[in-house]
């Protein structure tokens, strides 16, 4: 039983205080920054982590590749780390069993699995963004996959959080049928449900009225107060840091091309008091890479 998985389960299952999640981390450095800012867990997203880091959507990576990368995140922070495991989308229970074994073993606190069918067209793995959603796997197949994951969890880490993403909202299925799909996932053993693509508070409430486990909705129209009033476990906008970092970075590069190092000097002055300025070698001998005084950095202590 893992300490971090228990902590993750506690925050997803608490009542009346949804998690505020923007903590999809493009790098380990960003994960430490999220921790320092007080966020409750780190997420490794198919786009926001793997796509940005490697230029390959997580969908087209394999278990070994993801295990190798995830270990660095787990070892770097003292808050739960969950991972988007879309590489098992549409695959059978044996692959999911193997994934759960590996991910529990390295100390992840939980994983997301999807019910969408993965595109296998040429070039799909050569972009940082995942493909659209046009089809979901049959309900019975997904329920079998969930059950297989839960069997492994029972023997290795019962607190490991299995969040199941339902993308049926994207493919034109009547809401009543989507709710039946969600209920089947709950019966199969999902710990948290991810309502991917629900468009209104009214439809969200209809879904929640038919379910008994925590649910999250990734939507820019969702506010904290609305999520709390609806009874959601999380307010989720996973792209915020990556969006701001790259938009601001692009703005700086365009400015640099126009003004040269004057643009850089201006930024150094603007952010001179930020702990995330470039602390390079002897320039800052009394600070670690996070800007903390030497000896007070984050992450796990040396063993």
User: Which of the residue ranges 34-43, 199-208, 251-260, 293-302 would you say has the lowest mean pLDDT?
Assistant: 293-302
In the predicted model, what is the mean pLDDT of the chain?
Answer: 89
Is 258:42 a contact under the CB 8 Å cutoff?
no
User: pLDDT tens across 143-163, in order?
Assistant: 999 999 999 999 999 999 999
The pLDDT value given to residue 120: 66
Does residue 99 form part of some domain? yes
- Rounded to an integer, the average pLDDT of 97-107 is 97
pTM equals 0.88
Compute how many other C-beta atoms are within 10 angstroms of the C-beta atom of residue 197: 18
Domain count, the chain: 1
- CATH number of 124's domain: 3.20.20.60
Does residue 66 form part of some domain? yes
Does residue 289 form part of some domain? no
49 pLDDT band, cuts 50/70/90, is very high
Higher pLDDT, 186 or 90: 186
Which residue range is the domain that position 89 belongs to?
3-238
59 pLDDT band, cuts 50/70/90, is confident
Please check the confidence at residue 277 and state whether its pLDDT lies above 90.
Answer: no
Does residue 255 form part of some domain? no
Does residue 293 form part of some domain? no
% the chain with pLDDT above 70: 86
Does residue 243 form part of some domain? no
Is 107:2 a contact under the CB 8 Å cutoff?
yes
The pLDDT value given to residue 33: 94
Does residue 113 form part of some domain? yes
Does residue 189 form part of some domain? yes
- 3-state DSSP call for residue 296? coil
The residue whose two tokens read 């300025």 is 277
The pLDDT value given to residue 116: 86
Secondary structure string (H, E, C) spanning 195-247: ECCCCCHHHHHHHHHCCCCCEEEECCCCCHHHHHHHCCCEEECCCHHHHHHHH
């Amino acid at each position: 039983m893992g300490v971090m998985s228990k902590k993750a389960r506690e925050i997803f299952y608490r009542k009346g205080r949804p998690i505020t999640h923007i903590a999809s981390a493009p790098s380990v450095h960003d994960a430490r920054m999220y921790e320092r800012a007080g966020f409750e867990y780190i997420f490794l997203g198919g786009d926001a982590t793997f796509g940005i880091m490697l230029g390959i959507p997580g969908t087209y990576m394999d278990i070994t590749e993801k295990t190798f990368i995830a270990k660095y995140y787990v070892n770097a922070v003292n808050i739960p780390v969950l991972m988007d495991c879309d590489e098992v989308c549409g695959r059978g229970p044996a692959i999911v069993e193997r994934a759960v074994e590996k991910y529990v073993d390295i100390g992840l606190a939980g994983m997301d699995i999807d019910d969408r069918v993965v595109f296998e067209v040429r070039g799909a793995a050569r972009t940082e963004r995942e493909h659209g959603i046009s089809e979901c796997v049959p309900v019975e197949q997904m329920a079998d996959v969930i059950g297989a994951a839960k069997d492994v969890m029972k023997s290795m880490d019962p607190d490991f959080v299995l969040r199941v993403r339902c993308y049926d909202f994207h493919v034109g299925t009547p809401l009543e049928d989507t709710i039946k799909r969600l209920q089947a996932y709950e019966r199969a053993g999902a710990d948290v449900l991810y309502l991917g693509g629900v468009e209104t508070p009214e439809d969200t409430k209809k879904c929640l009225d038919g379910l008994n486990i925590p649910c999250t909705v990734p939507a820019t129209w969702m506010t904290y107060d609305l999520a709390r009033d609806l009874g959601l476990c999380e307010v989720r906008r996973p792209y915020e840091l990556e969006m701001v970092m790259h938009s601001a970075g692009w703005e700086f590069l365009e400015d640099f091309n126009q003004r040269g190092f004057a643009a850089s000097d201006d930024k150094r002055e603007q952010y001179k008091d930020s702990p995330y300025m470039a602390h390079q070698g002897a320039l800052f001998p009394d600070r670690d890479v996070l800007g903390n005084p030497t000896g007070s950095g984050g992450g796990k202590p040396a063993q």
